[in-house]
Chains A and B, each alone.
Chain A
Amino acid sequence: MEDVGSVVARVGAAWLALVFALIVLPSALGISLGISEAYMWVLVKTLEWATIRIEKGVKKPQPEILKTPAANGIIERDETPMEKEIARLHRVDFEFSDIFYFCRKGFEAIVEDEVTQRFSSEELVSWNLLTRTNVNFHYISLRLTVVWVIGVIVRYCFLLPLRFTLAAIGITSMIVGTTMVGQLPNSSVKNYLSEVVHLTCSRILVRALSGTIHYHNKENKPQKGGICVANHTSPIDAIILTNDGCYAMVGQVHGGLMGVIQRATVKACPHVWFERSEIKDRHLVTRRLREHVADKSKLPILIFPEGTCINNTSVMMFKKGSFEIGGTIYPVAIKYDPQFGDAFWNSSKYNIVSYLLRIMTSWAIVCNVWYMPPMVRKEGEDAVQFANRVRSAIAHQGGLTELHWDGGLKRAKVKDTFREEQQKNYSKMLVRNGSIG
């Protein structure tokens, strides 16, 4: 018995030493050993092989219908604007025909609606060996199944413990590090050390997710005294960004582990944490953020204006509050590659723990981050227009579609005002066409 115990202890120690040497130390120094790159290369080769096997296995003749990536819908939508459609039908001057347009729109919405679709994970066009697909997975070959089983073993028995260890190390060092730095009096040394601690811990956490991040246009990185604005897909968005720079976070105070982290980090670096009661008071929030931004020596604040997690195929309405603060806005577009792991957090379907478990048993998190040139509010532009302008830029850069819907629709129904708008437009058109005899 004793032998087993000592063997286990020695293995454990060796394991930790390896992790420390290969991962933690390079994170602190900001260098990369190339392990992730090798891993990704192997992964890509395996997935390509798997896709080819599946395509060989599917022998059905494909009819010549349109082929489009499934990410943006399963039906072909007629994008004719309402005015053109009604003008076309009105040559007969029959309102009987107007009903067609709305009928078809209604059916399109029932078969698949643009909004609800964004709150479920993006559908992939090829299989990525992550799970058995429920619909289209047929038993194709023994080899493929064996590879899948090996994949499961690798992910759950090797990657998961490794990642869990790293995450634990990362979070603990963050708490301990920032608490220690927080004891120092305010000075440039303190700021420097705080940055080092934050960066190191972010890097460890990114490695804990096997994250491969490509940063583009680094010359546009957010500067001090600015506001960094990005599209929101998951809670790890923040870590993705802090991996490359230091930001002041904005958010609500939570309980539990998150609360501990928040309280520790705010001692070292001026993050802006709000109590739940304070969040309701919009003026208070805006005022505090304004004070922060006005101080040009403070780190740029990081805000996700959508307010909720969207599935990374589109950008929903930006809440105008962030754009009323003033200052320079640095937009950032984040696009995840769904091939290696689905980063989207469907908060109505999964809680945070099962979400993290899923992330940690995916192959990797691969994403592209584009830093965009700063934007300022123009003369005569109100907050909403400015928000839309920034949103268009982000959507354009990241290759996402824009939707004029509120992320709050994940949980609530459409406001009556929206529906009345549409009806008003329609009747205005009819009246203009001189249909009143």
Chain B
Amino acid sequence: PRGAHPPHLSLFSPPTVTSEQIEHLHRRFKQLSHDQLTIRKENFDSIPDLEFNPIRGKIVHAFFDKRNLRQESDGLVDEINFEDFLTIMSYFRPIEMNMDEEQLDRFRKEKLKFLFHMYDSDHDGKITLQEYRNVVEELLSGNPHLEKESARSIADGAMMEAASICVGQMGPDQVYEGITFEDFLKMWQGIDIETKMHVRFLNMETIAHCY
């Protein structure tokens, strides 16, 4: 039957997601897609909680970003199936107790890469000042008292900080092109992000559905 069974779990390298959680996500997927096999951007419009979110556009975008879907090419896809949905969800897996150093490091890099893609909207591998300004503007939009200039100065200030961490002192003529992924990683050294970027499932015992 169409879309009745969730696909194989082979895409998760340590199998830390239980089959129950997959079933739940599958049900959610079907709810969002209105029982179709794929989801499009418009399907995310039906989530009221998401409307609150200022970076809603970027989050939805992230689901369709080919880089997040581990595809070789660049750009955006039009629609995603359940496997893609799970791929994006895997970025928000919580850490498991039994992970070793290497796994933890890979884990962290993946999450930061996801974040990096969110900022780097033109997919050129660098976060430029303009791209960063866009994000800050989105976060601050809706406040009539905050002028564009203030949003800009916040963005510029933050970029300066980033530059100083990554490149050290710059001469007055030097142009800072943008934050590369390596610089991005440097910025986050020592800061614990793993606990901030995860969604933890509650344990579900024999759950029944009444029709």
Using CB atoms and an 8 Å cutoff, list the residues of chain A in contact with chain B. 54-55, 58, 62-63, 65-68, 70, 73-76, 92-116, 121, 123-128, 130-131, 133-137, 338, 342, 405, 409, 413-414, 418-424, 426-428, 430-431, 435-437
Is B199's CB under 8 angstroms from A99's CB?
no
**Given the interface contacts A137-B208, A423-B140, does A102 sit within 8 Å of B154 by beta carbon?**
no
Cα A106 to Cα B48 in complex, Å, equals: 11
Give the contact stretch, choosing among B99-107, B169-177, B190-198.
B190-198
Is A112's CB under 8 angstroms from B118's CB?
no
Is A106's CB under 8 angstroms from B55's CB?
yes
- Residue B92 contacts which of A54, A62, A107, A342 (CB distance < 8 angstroms)? A107
**Given the interface contacts A62-B203, A76-B201, A427-B140, does A135 sit within 8 Å of B54 by beta carbon?**
no
Residue B157 lies at the interface, judged by CB distance under 8 Å to chain A = yes
Task: Convert B122-145 into 0s and 1s, putting 1 for each residue whose CB lies closer than 8 angstroms to a CB of A.
Answer: 000000000000011001111111
Is B59's CB under 8 angstroms from A106's CB?
yes
The interface size bin for chain B is 35 or more
B25 — which chain A residues lie within 8 A by C-beta?
111
Is A67's CB under 8 angstroms from B28's CB?
no
Is B47's CB under 8 angstroms from A422's CB?
no
**Given the interface contacts A65-B202, A124-B210, does A419 sit within 8 Å of B52 by beta carbon?**
yes
Is A405's CB under 8 angstroms from B48's CB?
yes
A155 to chain B, nearest CB (A): 13
B114 to chain A, nearest CB (A): 9
Cα A108 to Cα B53 in complex, Å, equals: 11
Residue B35 lies at the interface, judged by CB distance under 8 Å to chain A = no
**Given the interface contacts A99-B139, A133-B208, A135-B207, does A114 sit within 8 Å of B49 by beta carbon?**
yes
- Residue B211 contacts which of A131, A405, A437 (CB distance < 8 angstroms)? A131
- Residue B154 contacts which of A103, A104, A114, A436 (CB distance < 8 angstroms)? A436
Is B201's CB under 8 angstroms from A74's CB?
yes
Name the CB-closest residue of A to B31. A116
Residue B77 lies at the interface, judged by CB distance under 8 Å to chain A = no
Is B53's CB under 8 angstroms from A102's CB?
yes
- Residue B52 contacts which of A112, A121, A422 (CB distance < 8 angstroms)? A422
Interface residues in B151-178 (C-beta closer than 8 Å to A): 153-155, 157-158, 161-162
Which of B31, B32, B46, B47 has the most chain A CB atoms inside 10 A of its CB? B47
**Given the interface contacts A99-B55, A103-B59, does A65 sit within 8 Å of B203 by beta carbon?**
yes
Cα A409 to Cα B46 in complex, Å, equals: 10
Name the CB-closest residue of B to A130. B210
B92 — which chain A residues lie within 8 A by C-beta?
104, 107
- Residue B135 contacts which of A92, A99, A123, A437 (CB distance < 8 angstroms)? A99
